[in-house]
Amino acid sequence: MREINTTQIKDQIKELFLKANYHIDQELRQRLEEALSEETSSIGKSVLQMIIENNKIASKEEIAICQDTGLAVVFVELGQQVCIVGGDFTEAVNQGVKEAYEEGYLRKSVVDDPVFERKNTKTNTPAIIYTEIVPGDKIKFTVMPKGFGSENMSALAMLTPADGAAGIINFIVKTVEKAGPNPCPPTIIGVGIGGTAEQAMVIAKKAIARKIGTPNPNERYAAMEKEALEKINNLGIGPAGLGGRTTTLAVHIDYLPTHIAGMPVAVNVCCHAARHAEGIL
Amino acid sequence: MTQVKKITTPLDDHQVIQLKAGDSVLITGYIYTGRDAAHKRLIELLKKNQELPLDLKGQVIYYVGPAPAKPGYPCGSAGPTTSYRMDPYTPPLLEKGLKGMIGKGTRSQEVIESMKKNKAVYLGAVGGAAALIARRIKKSEVVAYPDLGAEAIHRYYVEDFPAIVVIDAQGNNLYETEPPKYKK
Ligand code: SF4
């Protein structure tokens, strides 16, 4: 057994949320530069230039990339030989989020009751935590501050096996088309296929955090990613929805075994401010 | 690329009519902030025939809920929020002389009709360009509803705030005219 103290967990979560909210990773910055050189619309070009410049300013001054610093999503891969000591795990994660959002001048966007009170919790907690037990004696965290302009455009379809790859691609493209300018294009589209309804959406969200442009290792799924991306960009929605060839920067598909009678497909939409950071304890 | 037009607030009919969908603009002057909660309160006052806490004549409202300001900064990151949530509240404010709105995303047909009637313009700021926009905000003060925190109505002094005319006072709408040109 390897002991990990909850203070280390709290500090790690805090550091990762600060990092994610201030700095866009290298691969995404590069993908945005490529998009700028490929874009044919002059408005589209100027929008992409503004986004690139914005990311530089945020990183240099250590201020939020976007004012919607999102709900705090945390994926945990917990090594089964880890023994957590010193306190409550969930509390440590929430404390890390609270400290990051308070001390890092990040907006608190969580309301306690979704329907009635809708009172701000003022700490940006509770975090949304997904835990997976894995072999080993380490903990891996992937944090994603998730803005809601894009989250609101996400969708789930319980397709039938007969719908096949074509039906899935059609659903992905339709979802992006319907979203239009609202999710702050250019977007990154996470797709989860299979499992159960909720599992499909969880893997769709996690797929967003994949290193941008890395295709699914399964060739057939990689081909679907490519086809969906091409069809989406042929919609012409463009940067900020003001027309152009860059509507989406990448489609990341992930899949799981599912039931003989079904084919769940979840589309999780993320804006160009696709913020995530990873750390291992 | 189209030429960048510099405009100063407040706006009058003459200035508004010269702004065409597709123009890039840089705004200098005072603008007001407001999103869901503040809009709701303004409309409640209007329903009761009571005076508004600010004179909207010629003014521009920016739909924004900024991040907290770091010490030494007038304002935290401040990109636009989605405009359609303000659609039900907008026509009565246009009737009161509001000339411009800055946000992101589509507007309802009712809003566009009211913009044509009252000669007003809808400007798009780039969603997610929040750190860049914050640099153009030079001063910020609360003018109404301080209890709403980040959602209170603030008055910003902005210099060269970058925006694009998305829907002009004739009702031309970039969200409708531009994407089809790039469709394949
Ligand atoms: S969708 Fe993303 S970029 Fe747009 S306002 Fe929300 S968090 Fe910011």
The helix-helix angle for A89-103 and A6-22 (nearest 10°) equals 40
CA distance, residue B175 to nearest chain A CA (Å) = 6
Asked if A175 and A262 sit in the same domain, the reply is yes
pLDDT beneath 50, residues of chain A: none
Q: A146, A165, A197 — which closes off a domain?
A: A146
CA distance B26 to A86: 54
Mutating which of A57, A63, A67 best tests the B interface, going by the most B Cβ atoms within 10 A?
A67
CB A252, CB A191: distance < 8 Å: yes
Q: Is residue B1 part of a domain?
A: no
Give pLDDT, residue A89.
98
The CATH number linked to B33 is 3.20.130.10
What's the ipTM?
Answer: 0.94
CA distance B4 to B162: 9
CA A140/CA B137 separation, integer angstroms: 39
State the pLDDT at residue B1: 47
Same domain, A139 and A153: no
Q: Which runs of consecutive H residues, i.e. helices, occur in A62-194?
A: 89-103, 148-151, 164-179
Answer yes or no: is B168 within a domain. Answer: yes
Q: Which domain holds residue A228?
A: 149-273
Q: State which residues form the domain around B60.
A: 7-182
**Ligand 1 and B171: CB distance under 6 A:** no
List, for chain B, all residue ranges whose pLDDT scores fall below the cut of 70. 1-2
pLDDT digits (tens, 9 = 90+) for B47-75: 999 999 999 999 999 999 999 999 999 99
Please confirm whether the linkage preceding A185 is cis (ω < 30° from 0). Answer: no
Q: Which of A61, A242, A243 sits opposite B131 (nearest CB)?
A: A61
If asked whether residues A8 and A128 sit together in one domain, one would say yes
In-domain check, residue A190: yes
DSSP state of A239: G
pLDDT number for residue B2: 59
Interchain contact, A243 vs B68, CB within 8 Å:
no
Given phi > 0 = left and psi -120 to 50 = alpha, else beta, which region is B145?
left
Q: Check residue A118 and give its pLDDT.
A: 87
Which residues have CB under 8 Å from A108's CB, separation 6+? A101, A120, A121, A122, A123, A124
B109 CB-contact burial (10 Å; exposed 0-12 / middle 13-18 / buried 19+): exposed
* Model pLDDT for residues A231-242, shown as the tens digit of each residue: 999 999 999 999
Contact B106 A182 (CB under 8 A): yes
Identify from B140, B167, B178 which residue to disrupt to test chain A contact, counting A C-beta atoms within 10 A and taking the largest count: B178
Residue of A24, A54, A55, A68 to test ligand 1 pocket, by largest number of atoms within 8 Å of CB: A68
What total number of domains does chain A contain?
Answer: 2
Is residue A85 within 8 Å of A1, Cβ to Cβ?
no
Tokens for B63, please give them: 């739909």
Strands (E) located in A119-186 = 128-134, 139-146, 155-159
Element (H, E) at B113: helix B109-118
pLDDT on residue A51: 98
**How does pLDDT run across A117-140, given as a tens digit for each residue?**
888 999 999 999 999 999 999 999
